């Protein structure tokens, strides 16, 4: 899976849709993805649609949806999604590929990790064959 495909999947999770009604993804391909709208007539299927990745990445609603999933901030100078979209245009003007730019955006995302109480690893020790609620835990060190 390419970084652009991963980015589009994040946009879908964030609520972006390629059309104004329900659809299903048929597949991701080298330069586009295909989807099929749910038919308004029961028992009839609608035509398969395609959308090239460039068209997706030029859509502000896609960037907003990814920003929603990644919890990008609303800053003093505007939303973070808009900053990333402007940087994409700059990267293209400098000769970079869309794939390389999207990879850099996704690589810079900081994974959301829960706060830890101790930096020492937690070791689970099962002393005897006992139910899971009786497993003893202890801190290493």
Half-sphere exposure of 38 (CA within 13 A, CB side): 7
**Does any domain span residue 138?**
no
**Does any domain span residue 48?**
yes
Cα–Cα distance list, 22 to 28, 58, 128 (Å): 18, 22, 52
**Does any domain span residue 35?**
yes
Its pTM stands at: 0.72
| Tokens standing for residue 66 | 């990814």
Model pLDDT, residue 125: 43
Domain count of the fold of the chain: 1
Report the Cα–Cα distance between both ends of the chain, in Å, rounded.
Answer: 41
Task: Classify burial at 131, counting beta carbons within 10 Å of its beta carbon; exposed 0-12, middle 13-18, buried 19 or more.
Answer: exposed
CA distance 112 to 70: 9
Task: Classify burial at 53, counting beta carbons within 10 Å of its beta carbon; exposed 0-12, middle 13-18, buried 19 or more.
Answer: buried
CB 34 within 8 A of CB 27: yes
**Does any domain span residue 125?**
no
**Does any domain span residue 68?**
yes
CA distance 141 to 122: 10
Domain that holds residue 12: 3-107
Q: How many CB atoms within 10 Å of residue 12?
A: 19
**Does any domain span residue 141?**
no
The tens-digit pLDDT sequence of the chain (141 residues) is 899 999 999 999 999 999 888 899 999 999 999 999 987 777 777 889 999 999 999 999 999 999 999 999 888 888 999 999 999 999 999 999 999 999 999 998 866 544 444 445 444 444 444 444 544 445 555
Give the bridge partners for 37, in sequence order: 23
Model pLDDT, residue 45: 78
Model pLDDT, residue 44: 78
**Does any domain span residue 114?**
no
């Amino acid at each position: 899976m390419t970084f652009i495909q991963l980015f589009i999947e994040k946009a879908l999770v964030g609520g972006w849709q390629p059309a104004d009604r329900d659809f299903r993804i048929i597949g991701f391909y080298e330069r586009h993805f295909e989807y099929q709208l749910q038919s308004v007539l029961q028992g009839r299927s609608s035509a398969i649609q395609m959308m090239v990745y460039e068209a997706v990445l030029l859509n502000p609603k896609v960037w907003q949806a990814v920003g929603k999933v990644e919890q990008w901030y609303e800053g003093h100078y505007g939303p973070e999604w808009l900053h990333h979209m402007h940087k994409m245009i700059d990267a293209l003007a400098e000769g970079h590929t869309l794939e390389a730019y999207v990879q850099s955006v996704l690589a810079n995302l900081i994974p959301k990790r829960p706060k830890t109480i101790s930096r020492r690893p937690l070791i689970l020790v099962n002393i005897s064959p006992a139910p899971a609620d009786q497993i003893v835990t202890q801190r290493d060190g």
